[in-house]
Structure 1
Amino acid sequence: MSALVGALQAASSSWTAAGWSTGTLVPLPVMVPLSAAGLTLTLWRRPRLQRVVSVTALAVVVAVSVALLFVTDDGPVVVHVGGWAAPVGIDLVADRLSALMLTVSSVVLLLVLLYSLAQGNDDSDDPTEHAPVSIYHPTYLVLAAGVGNAFLAGDLFNLYVGFEILLAASYVLLTLGGTGARIRAGSIYVVVGLLSSVVFLIAIALAYAATGTVNMAQLAERLPEIDPTVRLAIQLLLLLAFGIKAAMFPVSAWLPDSYPTAPAPVTAVFAGLLTKVGVYAILRTQTLLFPPDERVDDALMWVALLTMVVGILGAVAQDDIKRLLSFTLVSHIGYMLFGIALATSSGAAAAIFYVVHHITVQTTLFLVVGLVERRGGSTSLDRLGGLAKLAPGLAILFFVPAMNLGGIPPLSGFLGKVGLLEEGARQGTALAYVLVVGSVVTSLLTLYAVVKAWNKAFWQEAPSSVPTDTTLPRGMVAPTAALVVLGLGLTAIAGPLYGYAERAAGALRDGSYVQAVLPPGGADTPSQRAATTGEDDG
């Protein structure tokens, strides 16, 4: 590990010595997939070249994200787009948190793409099931660009743009194949997405009216000075907008009805990433823009508890693996909200670690379910059985991430939950202890739900409807296995990863973000305020 860090630091020094700044890396997670999307669109008659371009582009994003992971350990890296410094221009900001999110999301995007390419090749004779490659590749790359833009956005409006890019691309991916069920699910998804976008725009407008800026670094300095009632209104509107996108209770009912209808790789990338972009936005704005507020934090704790409990009760009641996992996805958003609501660096660190774990494990499980559907012919637990004997490798691929999701020690899911429980107990309030108990109950019920799915799909007697001669394409199995190994790898590197998460959490409130973004001196002076609001210094 230390050798890798040294090599990357040496590479960074060589990069700078050659006349390039580390800031050159920051826009690439957005620009590379966007440029590749345009290129794949022009290559719509040459699907093999489209595949090469898509895989190459996402591989480049993975390399850039890993480089940023080490570069930002020395502090945030800021790029003023077009050379216009904050608060006038658009800023892209990479810090420890955004770099970590970029790294895990780019790896997931690449592996899911490889899985989908193998699935598309194997099902090329079924045009009703999969959209033409000419549509899929540009849309998938645009989705990747939207994810990168959301993680790097330095102002609220650019964050809004990132969400809208995600909404447009995800609607196309969700309705691949054009079946009635997918169109209906996509319609619900778009309506909910537009609702959250409207709420977000209202919050942006209110913030700009109250402070004269939407730059997050400048908002961090100005929001504490405005009327507390207005500040609270802005905070609650942002929480509602991001909460809808993150599928927190009570605005989570849309997710279990939308995700299971999509193709397996699309469902996997949605489940792994899109809700976590909402969680990221909550974590970023709650820590950077608003001082701790006991009323808001307590309300968020109750929301976290209800998200956990209602989500997992929904999962226990399901007899379809896709819907079961969709409800567990909702439930485990509650763990992340719990860490944020604790309003401490340790709580935020545990939430960050859990986000990284959950992106990896939830994506893996949905890819495995795609393999289960192909091998068993269904995702209904009542129509599956005997897969442990028919496909023992598939049984292992399901068992490992399922136990990780259930929080079996010493896997990363257990470690993340222990971090949250320790910080909740350390806080010592009655509400924190209620969340601790709720977290334990939710973890046990998660284990019950995945064990039920395991028993029915893999151990019960196989019904006659289960095919006995279906083979799984290696191109689909390999990326899934890689994600299983990655999930285990998170356990192996849990110490350094948790340490990085603690440093990322510690930097959220230490002022380094604001100092890096604002002009030299970092002060929000009266003259700067007059320039952005049109007010006279007096």
Structure 2
Amino acid sequence: MNALVVAPLLIPLATLVATLFARPWPRAVAALSLAGALALAGVGLALVALAAQGGILASQAGGWVAPYGITLVIDRLSAAMVAITGIVGSATIVFALARDEDPARGRDFHVLVHGLLVGVCGAFITGDVFNLYVWFEVLLVGSFALLVLGGGKRRLAGTVVYVVLNLVATMMFLLAAGLLYGASGSLNMALLAQAFAAGEVPVTAHAAVVLMLTAFSIKAALFPVFGWLPASYHVAWTPVSALFAGLLTKVGVYALIRLVTLFWPEAGIAHEVLLWVACATMLIGVLGAAAQVEVRRILSFHIVSQVGYMILGLALATPLALAGAVFYLIHHIVVKANLFFIGGIAARLTGSERLAAMGGLYAHAPWLAVLFAIPALSLAGIPPLSGFWAKFVLVEASLDARAWVAAGVALLTGLFTLLSMSKIWNEAFLKPHPAGEGSGSAGGGSGGDGSGGGLRSADGLRPALWAVGALAAMTVAIGLAAGPVMDYAVAAAQQLAAPAAYIDAVVRAGGN
């Protein structure tokens, strides 16, 4: 069991080392990268199967009893997050196999992406606040390098914004961890939860947690500290921006869910604040999207608005609301990564990401129109796709909790999301292309950074279409099989709402 718990870290780390040594042989790098991502997805699914049996896996590095050593914990939520990380990571690597004008960029991408996956998986399975900080640092180093991959002034400017805001959040996190340790004498999440529940921590410990949650709010792009995300995600190479869109803000959301449910499981002032933050995040994000004129800028603002739904579930703090938040996490990672993939393909075919310079895709590439419609309608919450069930559960939980304003904002955000998706559909797919049909090659790479010219050939895009098709099929499958997925989410929410089993598993883990 200990080997299985640590596998989400060892697999991407081993893949990183293997791809680094294989850099002189690009095909070997790509093959090793894909094999590592698929292995991570396989381990994640195995962990989901084990977690579905109701148990919680916990391991202490070196057999040291908590709070000493490194604590790793797998419950239903962390298992699901590891599995979805492996799936989206695999799709991203397949997408990156599409023909690109810069082979070195793709080779470097495969090395860096597994460094990012190590950090993401570490953040999902750690049971210690300090090690959570360490894994955040690991994924941030990888994300900095990936964001600037390919060079250019536009990417550099976006990277500077990303780096500055995330470093501020990181410094806040480290300061909060130091304050929490000084006040409580421990950074083990389970032992801290025991101390908080027993009222054995001073006020400074609560203040440290507030500071820590503020740092996570920046990383999750919550209102009012979300501006870094739409200023940076849209400038990256398409596989990078899609991976970021799917995973990175969800690490911040996961950290918020984990710490709030462990330290403050009962509804209180923190939940009230989170409720209003969630409503503002939903509304401001979707209104910001309405003002944008580039596809990935629109989609970036929608990341902000959709994160608000997840925090709404946490703020309401009922088992149904937490189940909705878990379901929404799973749904949104798949859908948002896929929309960024499709946005990159559309930009490559039309020669621009600006809606005014796009058009004609419905006639030129009808298969892309279908593939766009699936995640776009799911994001807006149209039945029977996955987004409908996620929104339905959260709205129902809001009504049950008499949070009428939150329910209204959630419904209004869904309507505005549909209008944004309709704008992309009308501009990129239905209207004729301003420059007419067929003027160039498929140049510009799968990043879609080119501009001008008419509609281009889809030559070299087959791997990208495989990735998009697989994620679209997954979106449909989650919607059609919403019952089993929701059952899993409900059970995960029960573990979050009653953390005694999590705490007991960590306490008993030493020497296993």
Query: TM-score range, shorter-chain basis?
Result: over 0.9
- Matching residue of 2:387: 413
Cα separation, 2, equivalents of 1:293 and 1:419 = 19
- Matching residue of 2:71: 91
Letter in 1 for 2:383: P
Cα separation, 1, equivalents of 2:456 and 2:257 = 48
Cα separation, 1, equivalents of 2:42 and 2:61 = 22
Kindly indicate whether residue 309 of structure 2 is the aligned counterpart of residue 335 of structure 1: yes
Contact 2:216 2:256 in 1 (8 A): yes
In the TM superposition, what is the alpha-carbon distance from 1:105 to its structure 2 partner? 1.4
Cα separation, 2, equivalents of 1:39 and 1:450 = 41
- Matching residue of 1:489: 477
C-alpha change, 1:132 and 1:462, in structure 2 (3 Å) is closer
Contact 2:348 2:456 in 1 (8 A): no
Q: What's the secondary structure of 2:58's corresponding residue?
A: strand
Cα separation, 2, equivalents of 1:155 and 1:519 = 15
C-alpha change, 1:213 and 1:484, in structure 2 (3 Å) is same
Q: Which of residues 503, 515, 521 is equivalent to 2:491?
A: 503
The equivalences for 1:251-330 within 5 A come to: 251-330=225-304
Contact 2:398 2:404 in 1 (8 A): yes
- Matching residue of 2:441: none
Cα separation, 2, equivalents of 1:293 and 1:496 = 28
Letter in 2 for 1:463: P
Contact 1:312 1:446 in 2 (8 A): yes
In the TM superposition, what is the alpha-carbon distance from 1:520 to its structure 2 partner? 7.5
In the TM superposition, what is the alpha-carbon distance from 1:134 to its structure 2 partner? 4.4
The higher-RCO structure (CA 8 Å, 6+ apart) is 2
Q: What's the secondary structure of 2:206's corresponding residue?
A: helix
- Matching residue of 2:449: none
Cα separation, 2, equivalents of 1:208 and 1:49 = 45
Kindly indicate whether residue 146 of structure 2 is the aligned counterpart of residue 173 of structure 1: yes
- Matching residue of 1:191: 164
- Matching residue of 1:516: 505
Taking only the aligned residue pairs, the percentage that are identical comes to: 41
Q: Which of residues 118, 127, 143 is equivalent to 1:145?
A: 118
Cα separation, 2, equivalents of 1:132 and 1:371 = 18
Q: What's the secondary structure of 1:93's corresponding residue?
A: strand
The TM-score, its normalising length taken from structure 1, stands at 0.89
Letter in 2 for 1:352: V
The equivalences for 1:28-427 within 5 A come to: 28-73=7-52, 74-118=54-98, 122-123=99-100, 126-127=101-102, 131-224=104-197, 225-226=199-200, 229-427=203-401
Q: Which has the larger radius of gyration?
A: 1
Kindly indicate whether residue 386 of structure 2 is the aligned counterpart of residue 449 of structure 1: no
Letter in 2 for 1:481: G
Cα separation, 1, equivalents of 2:456 and 2:110 = 31
In the TM superposition, what is the alpha-carbon distance from 1:510 to its structure 2 partner? 3.8
Contact 1:383 1:466 in 2 (8 A): no
Letter in 1 for 2:501: S
Cα separation, 1, equivalents of 2:249 and 2:20 = 27
Structure 1: where are the runs of 5+ without partners? 1-21, 522-538
The TM-score, its normalising length taken from structure 2, stands at 0.93
Letter in 1 for 2:506: V
- Matching residue of 1:533: none
- Matching residue of 1:474: 462
Contact 1:235 1:290 in 2 (8 A): no
In the TM superposition, what is the alpha-carbon distance from 1:231 to its structure 2 partner? 3.9
Q: What's the secondary structure of 2:97's corresponding residue?
A: helix
Cα deviations across residues 437-473 of structure 1 (Å, max 9, x unaligned)? 0111110000001101100111112211553451242
Please, what is the CA RMSD of the aligned residues?
Answer: 1.6
In the TM superposition, what is the alpha-carbon distance from 1:227 to its structure 2 partner? 5.1
Cα separation, 1, equivalents of 2:418 and 2:38 = 34
- Matching residue of 1:434: 405
Cα separation, 1, equivalents of 2:236 and 2:313 = 31
In the TM superposition, what is the alpha-carbon distance from 1:290 to its structure 2 partner? 2.0
In the TM superposition, what is the alpha-carbon distance from 1:133 to its structure 2 partner? 4.3
Cα separation, 2, equivalents of 1:494 and 1:346 = 15
Contact 2:351 2:455 in 1 (8 A): no
